Structure 1
Amino acid sequence: MTLALENIVKAFKKDVVLDGVSLSVDQGETLVLFGPSGAGKTVLLRLIAGVIEPDQGTITIQGRDMNGVEPEDRGIGMAFQNFALFPHMDATDNIAAPLTARNMSKSGITETVGKIARMLKIEHVLHHKPKELSNGQKQRTALARALAGEPDILLLDDPLRNVDAKLRFEMRLELPRLLKEQNATVIYVTQDYKEAMALGDRIAVMSASGIEQTGTPSDIYLAPANIEIARLFGDPVINLLDVTLTQGAGGVQFTLSGVPVTVDAGYAEMVGRACTVGIRPEAIRFVEEGTAGAIPLVIETETPLNEKTVTLGLTQNGREIMVSRPAGRPGPAQGMGFVTIDATHIHLFDRATGNRVAPTQAAKTQGAA
């Protein structure tokens, strides 16, 4: 079931929440809406569900204009942050509500409810009413109800927000499999970038200005549209350093601790202009003193984080650099250290606009010649 939004505008009094938002989602695709609180993610879901109507623009499902179509006639399943559970029903009956409405057999209902409850680890509270459930259990019950109905379109508004860290991690693995089995068209809202990367076939990054970038998780991480998106994706956060590119003997470069770092020749048009260079901590590697291109750092602190170790160092000019390496890989914990940078993973941003600058193909070709 395909879903398309075109030039959606929604305001509440004088507060314009969505201004000309357009996006489309294909059959069986999971699109994650990612962004800070107040970006309009939940409002967008409510518009698609038909709970509220857009001031301008069109919403189509399978090519059919949804203007005036009631929520119950849109073939949509929803799990919103406010749970919306039936207070007089226990968890089993809440989950089974869409199945009961379809007159599914009792044995079919029992099997379906049990399967989803086990996946969400709420089978032990199936006979509890909402007032007896924790917020996390209520949220999982609402999610289970949305999944049980196997709708054509599924709207999930941060459904794992109140879930503990262990279960949240497990659900990042289990939920994509279940969604693919159902072949539903899914729009999933989250403020957790790891969740967005794990669950989304594509991610639409939203801000108060609208949709900033749409792409696959790899697109977003490897080619962020601007500095803000680069900051949002990654742990530890990307290193951002103000530099001015120069044309040296080795090509287009900038310097750190007096050591030239050569970047893609396609950045030649940015020579002499104020830029911000973005370097992912995992693109920096500790090396022995004397290694070609080694940049000296004064090691400030080292933090082991189970699967990786994060080191904070200072350049000769006092600029902070974060270095991430797999746990067990050697590196200095104090004193002086030396690093090299994988130039293929360097991002360049225009300092005036904050937008990412892509290297030009023409300059690359000339550089190769």
Structure 2
Amino acid sequence: MGSPDPAVIGPALAAAAGDDRWTDVTATLIAGGKSNLTFRLTSPAGSAVLRRPPTGTLLPKAHDMGREVRVQQALAPTPVPVARIPLADDGGLLGVPCYVMELVDGQIIRDTLPDGFADAGSDRAAIAHALVDTLADLHTVDHTAVGLDGFGRAGGYIERQVARWSDQWARSSDHPVPDLDELARRLRADVPPDGGVAVVHGDYRLDNCVLDATDPGTVRAVLDWELATIGDPLADIGALLFFWREMGESFPVLIPGVSNLPGFPTRADLAQRYAERSGLDLSRIAYYEAFAAFRFAVITQGVARRAADGAMAGQQFGDVADDLAMMAAYGLERIPAQSRQGR
């Protein structure tokens, strides 16, 4: 199941935190994690969160705990809210790399809004604005100044990403999806020049943020830095727009959300706010949305395959064929055949 051994992690965390109360610890799987496994650690000293890779065979360069630790520690003194990390291990404790971070109090919004939270349209707009503003803040961080020089190669980022996820698709696909193959072809055929250089989260969306419990317009922590690197910031905003469902639209099974409820702004509203806040040119943002759809389709297939192989601590996600088709259609709509995307 991949659950951490309390007799191992407890003493290690007690030593790292300087608090023997952590020795008596229990670990409970947190539902919702679709890639790395996330556990809540509970002890007389309080609660924390442990992250580790899934069990089973892993795709190359996936589930890199060290990268998650490095980027969060680097961002700690910046305006970007991240959780404090008292313990990181390269495999000696559990046999796989893992780390423990503080449990940040607040709301993580998945497929429902808590009773009494963000009932007003103004609060729902505030959530969207805080999400966009935090992303723009991330993209203004001087990565060299915070010690992330060499964290990734900036030039040719999106071209490498398209090639990487095409390779991942070839590795994880277990049945033909011609529309996804066509989407990959269109993405390769008209790669835009880099839209900038920044710290890129790689999976930025509402359920990867902790909102303040009483102020919906405040992000208290950004989570899940597994895909972070130095690259094109437009990839992040493109992904956020893809994850943002509007009224009348449904969410794929692996993308929980509430943005299709009344009162939440549209994708166009988010894009405009980000452009104003960041100063970046979003004239080719449709390409980045299409790439986000392709990438998440590949991730979805990989998660479903790992779950079927029993590598997701018992979590099951059912047949994802319809979701793959929906994401392929979303991407193809944004980069029609022969399109030059405004060139």
Report the TM-score when normalising by structure 2. 0.25
| Structure with more contact order per residue of length (Cα contacts < 8 Å, sep ≥ 6) | 2
Structure that is richer in helix per residue: 2
Structure that is richer in strand per residue: 1
Q: Which structure's CA Rg is the greater one?
A: 1
